[in-house]
Chains A and B, each alone.
Chain A
Amino acid sequence: MNEVLLPFILTLDATLRLATPLILCAMAGLLSERSGIIDISLEGKLLSGAFAAAAVSTVTGNVYMGLGMAIVVSVAMALIHGFACITHRGNQIISGLAVNILASGLTVTIGFAAFRQGGQTPPLSADERFGPIILPFADALRDVPLIGLLYSELLSGHKLIVYIALISVPLVAWLLFKTRFGLRLRAVGEVPEAVDSAGISVTWLRYRAIILAGILCGIAGAYLSTAHGAGFVREMSAGKGYIALAAMIFGKWRPWSAMGACLLFGFLEAASSRMQGVELPLIGQTPVDLILILPYILTVVLLAGFFGRAVPPKAIGEPYVKEH
């Protein structure tokens, strides 16, 4: 039975790897948007985090320093976004886009100046990256039917950040729905006037939301360049921030549904790379083009066909003006 299941489980394993940055970014977007700030800048924060992590890891040889710097840089990008659209009440989409463009240009320019490798960082060696974490008893349990395989192949052996991503979902759900901070954060995204009249600072709440978002995006960036990949390559975020944003909307601004959407996107990508050139009954060898467009087609079908009305937070996109 294990032989039949193994390819499927390995695909799920890849799903988890590919969904990790999406989940972290979707949680970041969720926190930000629930507070009323549209977060188009996920992509830029992800990319700048990826660059900072790879650059610092390669210089210091310490992957945790890289992770720390990724968070710092990503939060800094978030603060630029916040300064423009919270403090100065600028257009949130434009300021988010500005962050993306800034990240895309700055990473390559700094990378070029610092490493002289066409905007890349030098490839990272094994100890400059996150290693796999083997969960206890993974080898001992391997031979237990089904459960053993699930545990040892699917759950065990991932990089630290994969587990952080999985934990981030209940954490964000708890923060949003079970704490006073979460209640206020949601309120500030729906009726900021009410929060303001209760004597709580709308500005400070929103800043806290985007700082949290920055931290999560920084971790996702470090994952791209120092855990899943081995070094920074220009534009390596490859639209993942936007996909995460779509997944979050797909998940109707709810943590668990957003995670489900991220896993779905991850699964489609994992399946598409594994199904290339595989012989299928009736069709024969699967054509490359068909496999490559499959995730996009499915996204459209799913979004159009199975997706009910999504209600965004009421005050999203509107800068809060204290006095009219």
Chain B
Amino acid sequence: MKNVFRGLGLAAVMAIAGVANAADFKPAVVYDLGGKFDKSFNEGVYEGVKRFTEETGVEVMEFEVTNEAQRQQAMERMVSRGATILLGVGFAQADAIDAVAKENPEKQFSIIDVFWLDQPNLRQYSFKEHEGSYLVGVAAAMASETGTVGFVGGMDIPLIRKFACGYVQGAKATKPDITVLENMTGTTPSAWNDPVKGGELTQGQIDRGADVVYHAAGGTGMGVIRAAADAGKLAIGVDSNQNYLAPGKVLTSMVKRVDIAAYQTFMDAYKGKFTPGVQSLGLAEGGVDWAVDDNNKDLVDGAIADAVDQAREDIVSGKVTVHNYEDDSNCPF
């Protein structure tokens, strides 16, 4: 009987400790346009958030912005609701998080896809997308029968040019005489959400001979994958694993492990190990990769897989340096 009471007491103490911990620690995330089930970038973050919640039992406050003006408001609201660590998603939230982080020096902030801010309480994650794009460029060049491959970008910004440049480098390193067609969907944020235009751009590239088309265009990319699949050609997905969207018609996906960034942010803060500064995740860190699963394993047969593995080895060992467009705003290929 005594033991039972002691056990109960211990459980109560532990419960109280747990509650105290949970009360002090309140994570929040602000998803960007597209929403948390966009089958791409935001959904990747959501995966990381979900993993964190499953492992720790701590609920994460969430907000999905539906227009550009809401970003800063949403962050301020999260902070005023007691968030202790706030994760921003995407470069578009950079200005908002910069302002909110400055106003709230006692809170912790983290943002994905940004590396140029400078706040003592802000962690920034940048990905070496050019390295991942190089890998899928190698795969595209290997899979292409026509000697022409395509790229469809979302909004025309340096980040997307960085994807394009790595892709071109990978393709040309594999087949020097390959033609790479490049299109951007637009110059405003609506370029991330225009699948009809994405489909038309893809159709245009296919008409000009492309048989593998890589997209870095958020929701617009759904149109790219659909158009490629309809025409019996191959698409390459981006950000999260999109191979399942058209099984057998998506060659592979350039996965950006934003889930790792989200998970790490909250886990580090949860354990009291949060540090500001820039974290750069590349092939060596497992931050970017190509996706192979049941949907595409027949497409990426031995030769393609070997070439991609070789390319990965060369990049990790430093034998091949992938050019980063953001270093000099120029793509030499």
Contact = CB atoms under 8 A, between A and B. Distances in A.
Interface residues of B, number: 35
B181 A118 contact: no
A118 B42 contact: yes
Contact of A277 (B183, B195, B200, B226): B183
A270 B37 contact: no
Interface stretch (A10-18, A167-175, A184-192, A300-308): A10-18
A270 B197 CA distance: 9
Contact of B187 (A108, A126, A229, A289): A289
B38 A118 contact: yes
B190 interface: yes
Contacts of A224: 196
A229 to B, nearest CB: 5
10 shortest interchain CB distances as A-B pairs: A118-B35, A117-B37, A118-B37, A274-B204, A230-B226, A10-B207, A276-B183, A273-B201, A273-B200, A288-B184
B195 A233 contact: yes
Interface of A: 6-7, 10, 14, 17-18, 108, 112, 116-120, 123, 126, 224, 228-231, 233-236, 238, 269-270, 273-274, 276-277, 288-289, 292
29 contacts: A6-B207, A7-B207, A14-B203, A117-B35, A117-B39, A118-B34, A120-B35, A120-B37, A120-B38, A126-B230, A228-B196, A229-B196, A229-B199, A229-B223, A229-B226, A230-B222, A231-B195, A233-B193, A233-B219, A236-B195, A238-B196, A273-B183, A273-B200, A276-B182, A276-B184, A276-B201, A288-B156, A289-B156, A289-B187
A235 to B, nearest CB: 7
A289 B156 CA distance: 9
B219 A108 contact: no
A116 B37 contact: yes
Contact of A238 (B36, B42, B181, B190): B190
Contacts of B183: 273, 276-277
Contacts of A119: 35
Contacts of B64: 118
Given A230-B222, A277-B181, 16 more contacts: A10-B204, A14-B204, A18-B200, A118-B34, A118-B36, A120-B35, A120-B38, A120-B219, A123-B245, A224-B196, A229-B195, A233-B193, A236-B194, A238-B190, A289-B187, A292-B187
B100 to A, nearest CB: 23
Contacts of A289: 156, 187
Interface string B22-38: 00000000000011111
Contacts of B195: 229-231, 233, 236
Interface of B: 34-39, 42, 64, 66, 156, 181-184, 186-187, 190, 193-197, 199-201, 203-204, 207-208, 219, 222-223, 226, 230, 245
A108 B203 contact: no
A270 B186 CA distance: 14
Contacts of A118: 34-38, 42, 64
A233 B222 contact: yes
Nearest to B226: A230
B23 to A, nearest CB: 29
Contacts of A274: 204, 207
A278 to B, nearest CB: 9
Contacts of B36: 118
A228 B226 CA distance: 10
Contacts of A10: 204, 207
A124 B38 CA distance: 15
B194 A238 contact: yes
Contacts of B196: 224, 228-229, 236, 238
Contacts of B190: 235, 238
Given A236-B195, A277-B182, A270 B35 contact: no
A273 B204 contact: yes
A57 to B, nearest CB: 14
B200 A270 contact: yes
B162 to A, nearest CB: 16
Contacts of A7: 207-208
B207 A123 contact: no
B222 A228 contact: no
A106 to B, nearest CB: 13
A234 B156 contact: no
A108 B66 contact: yes
A284 B28 CA distance: 49
